Chain A
Amino acid sequence: MSILYYLNYSFIQRAYLAGSFVAALCAMLGLFLVLRRLSLIGDGLSHVSFGAIALGLFFGVYPFYVAVPSVLIASYFILKLTEKAKMYGDAAIGIVSALSIAGGVILASLSRGFNVDLFSYLFGNILVISDQEVYLSIGLSLSVLLVILLLYGDLFSATFDEEYARVSGIKTARLHLVLTSLTAVTVVLAIKVVGIMLVSALLILPAVSALQMARSFRTAMLIAVASSVISVLVGITLSFSLNLPAGATIVMINGVIFLAALIFKRLR
């Protein structure tokens, strides 16, 4: 059965639509993050969102409304820890990430009532995405994509050679803050697609697959977006037809694409 057959179902339509936007976004941002050696920031921020979602569930607030500002604040805090406390970025990510998980676990244990809800956020399920979440995902994705497109030249320059970018008049510290903030919003969006545990895979795998094959930055961007969107579409389809968890299936498809890219590179 083809993707066209599944399009008859409205919940699949919603999953394809929201998933494709988030996948494209993750791929574009992921390429900048991987090349700037910031791959693990997605992992750290997804752990922050675990604490934030637990906080939302604890107070009965829609979790994403708590997660977006919390993860933004955490991303800013990670940057400041790195700058002011003269700490390596990975150590700062580790601290913020561990404290957030610890906070989330304490809240879950105190409430005893929302463990099942929290579990659904840990592993995600895009097949049960609501209309409201689709609109939110598309709206935020389009906003982040617009910022990336407007700053494409600056991001490319600063990622390739930060010192030269500064001599070109690019405010790299401000750009770094923007990139981290965009990552924070994207991580929260991607939680619905693959879950907290697998968010970093959606940021890293399409980027590293593209880096195996591309010979120019523009091509790398196109391959990353294409492989990410394909993996989400195929992952959702397989998940529904074979009754597999959607997030894990999407990540496994991304893994297969990465292996194919490695083989392609060897054969070239």
Chain B
Amino acid sequence: MSDTSIISVINLCFGYGRVEALTDVTFDVEKGDYIGLAGPNGAGKTTLVKTILGLSDRFTGAIRLFGQDLKSFDGWGRVGYLSQRVSAFNPLFPATVKEVVGLGLLSQKGFPRRSGRGDAAKIRRSLDLMGISELEERPVSDLSGGQQQRVFLARALVSGPELLILDEPGTALDPQSREGFFEFIKRLNRDEGITVVLITHDTSDIGQYANKLLYLDKKVVFYGSFSDFCRSDEMHRYFGYFSQHLICHQHRTV
């Protein structure tokens, strides 16, 4: 683990009952990294991210966030999270865009967590960044899937996080919006210096944006740069020559 490690995962094991979901997972995410977290269905990608976010404590091994042990970590305002289930919220819930984005500021507040001076400006800035200022008084349930996605990303960004974790953010978007979305995340990483961990099914897609690939299949199969991935014999065995060639070809053409 180096001084600039944002996430350090050391010998992490996690199981659902007797079924092992993650085995001896070890890796570091450095400041400014853009990590594409890929792998087949059931590889443990979401489980890994949820464990890192403290949503499950039934693990062995160690996890450190910003150098602090996860069990005592209290800097959640430094972490932005966009869940896979953005459209799974209760559609009867009468919350406006402004109210939902404001929830992203609660992690920075002590007890009692109430809106304070300056919150409105932060919310407006985050809405501006996502280009949805005109929606601020609209109920979230009235919006399209793509607009809801942007609202939830605005919520993840409103606290000015240093680490952004996105769980399959492309699922609610059409191909064109998805490309724009990934470009936007790339700009956040490059211009704002936000460290990004993005779960995706699409290994070829993420190769265009991320600087590192973490390929997971219950254990770490590959962790490194895309060029190393393309030269890796192990990935050649995993994907087969043709698939690996396609993924790497698409990556090089950008």
Contacts and interface: CB of A to CB of B under 8 A. Distances in A.
Contacts of B81: 164, 167
Interface stretch (A57-65, A112-120, A154-162, A195-203): A154-162
A217 B95 contact: yes
Interface stretch (B102-110, B186-194, B208-216): B102-110
B61 interface: no
Interface string B70-108: 000010100101010100011011111001100110110
Contact of B55 (A149, A166, A220): A166
B139 interface: yes
B221 to A, nearest CB: 27
Contacts, number: 84
B205 to A, nearest CB: 25
B79 A167 contact: yes
Interface string A207-228: 0001100111111100000000
A214 B90 CA distance: 15
A87 interface: no
Nearest to A37: B90
Contacts of B83: 161, 163-164
Q: Is the interface of A mostly helix, strand, loop or mixed?
A: helix
B103 A168 contact: yes
A135 to B, nearest CB: 27
B53 interface: yes
Interface of A: 35, 149-154, 156-157, 159-161, 163-170, 210-211, 214-220
30 contacts: A35-B90, A35-B92, A35-B93, A150-B111, A151-B112, A153-B114, A154-B106, A154-B113, A156-B99, A156-B103, A157-B103, A160-B89, A160-B95, A160-B100, A163-B85, A164-B83, A165-B103, A166-B54, A167-B54, A167-B55, A167-B81, A168-B104, A169-B76, A215-B94, A215-B139, A216-B96, A217-B95, A217-B96, A218-B99, A219-B94
Interface of B: 53-55, 74, 76, 79, 81, 83, 85, 89-90, 92-96, 99-100, 103-104, 106-107, 109, 111-115, 137, 139, 155
